[in-house]
Amino acid sequence: VPLMKGGKQQPHSPYTTAIRKTRVKGSILGNHYKVEAFLGEGGFGIVAKCRDTMTNRAVAIKVNKSDPDILQQAKLEIFILEQLRRLDPDAANIVKWNGFFHDGEWVCLKFELLDQCLWDYIGDRKNQGLPISEVRPILGHLTNALSHLGSVGIVRADLKPGNIMVVNRYESPVKVRLIDFGLACPASAVMPGDRVGTVGYSAPEVMLGLPYNEASDMWSLGLVAVELGTGVPLYPGNEDYDVLKFIIETQGQPPDHTGYESLETRYIKLTRLDDLEQVMMFRRGPENGQRLFVSLIKQILASDANQRITLLEVLRHPFFNPKKKIKNNIETNFAISHRCQTLARGPNLAHSLITFGPRSHTKLLLELAYWYYTANIYIV
């Protein structure tokens, strides 16, 4: 849940204050959700830890304030969450949603209770960055989550550490899930010029009001990855102008087709992305995999969205397995998902099978493609 923006608590609004005054600890939400604690708040309202008095299970409930714009956003989030029901939350690394209910004028969304957001997890390490051995699985989980969203035609649009939850901080390797789909949207409904996302994590094309797609999520993924490795944001700022200035300082002028012509508070000052390796060595000491990590980041953070690597290419990068070719369930499941979509759309299944292989998956691919086709599921 986006409880914080840029590491600072969101200011209270009259609507949020009203929720806090009427839904204090010990009060009941709906018919049987007893408020035990407030986990945080944002522009939407508050998130409370509640106890289901019927099952005695702890849950997280997002209480959307009664502002008309927020209620409309809540409806859109419910629409997205309904689309995500087609996915297995465990396999897709997304939060488990258990429906919604009304409490007076408030719309309340029920979710599984998770441990802590990635911002706090990084902060617990004194913002010195995580070891490569932790960065690797977390980045893999996030890539897997975005690939699953893409399989149902959803653009995340607001990926940042505050919208990523650690399932259990004491588990090794740590597992993460995506939360808060309030700004997510179908890829077919993306509107050029819409300013979505959070300053410091939005892609250049979004900040410049240009058409954008799933590649904007790749940019955000790269920035989250850098924050995992260094402990601090790469491009902080309160305004898009600040962020664009930092991008230009580090990566040069955006491509001409973006139309950006105009050209301090950075945590780390770089003149090129290659310097990230030295930053990581200074903050954490030398580790195996740092150079491969920077190599991956450079391919993700291409200023031109058309030049960014894909999610599958991320998982195939040597960073995830520097000694041998990757062969893991995440990549295999991702590849099968996208291949079967291609097969279902293609005019010639046999030709598609030969083109997209591999032969060991041919039977499964054919069955999945047939299922996609007969179920009339089309990915936008």
pLDDT digits (tens, 9 = 90+) for 110-122: 999 999 999 999 9
% the chain with pLDDT above 70: 75
Per the model's pLDDT, the better-predicted residue between 258 and 5 turns out to be: 258
**Equal CATH topology for 4-112 and 116-326:** no
Least confident interval from 65-69, 217-221, 315-319, 369-373: 369-373
Q: Please write the tens of the pLDDT for every residue from 77-130.
A: 999 999 999 999 999 999 999 999 999 999 999 999 999 999 999 999 999 999
Q: What is the pTM of this model?
A: 0.78
The CATH class that applies to domain 116-326 reads mainly alpha
What Cα–Cα distance (Å) separates residue 44 from each residue in 16, 93, 133, 147, 240?
8, 23, 35, 27, 22
Beta strands 45-52 and 33-42, pairing class? antiparallel
Residue 335 reports pLDDT greater than 80 = no
Each residue's pLDDT tens digit, 241-300:
999 999 999 998 766 555 444 334 567 778 899 999 999 999 989 999 999 999 999 999
What residue type is 39 in one-letter code?
L
The answer on whether 325 is annotated among ligand-binding residues is no
Cβ-proximal residues to 247 (8 Å cutoff; 6+ apart), any chain: 204, 235, 254, 303
Domain 4-112, CATH among 3.40.50.970, 3.90.1150.10, 3.40.50.2000, 3.30.200.20: 3.30.200.20
Q: Whole-number mean pLDDT of the chain?
A: 82
Task: Write the pLDDT tens digit of every residue in 231-257.
Answer: 999 999 889 999 999 999 999 876 655
Whether residue 188 is predicted with pLDDT greater than 80 in this model: the reply is yes
- Spell out the residues 6+ positions from residue 285 whose beta carbon is closer than 8 angstroms to its own: none
d(CA 220, CA 244): 14
Q: Is the predicted pLDDT of residue 51 greater than 60, yes or no?
A: yes
Domain ranges of the chain: 4-112, 116-326, 331-374
Catalytic residues: 158
pLDDT, mean of residues 16-42 = 81
**Statement: residue 364 has pLDDT above 70:** no
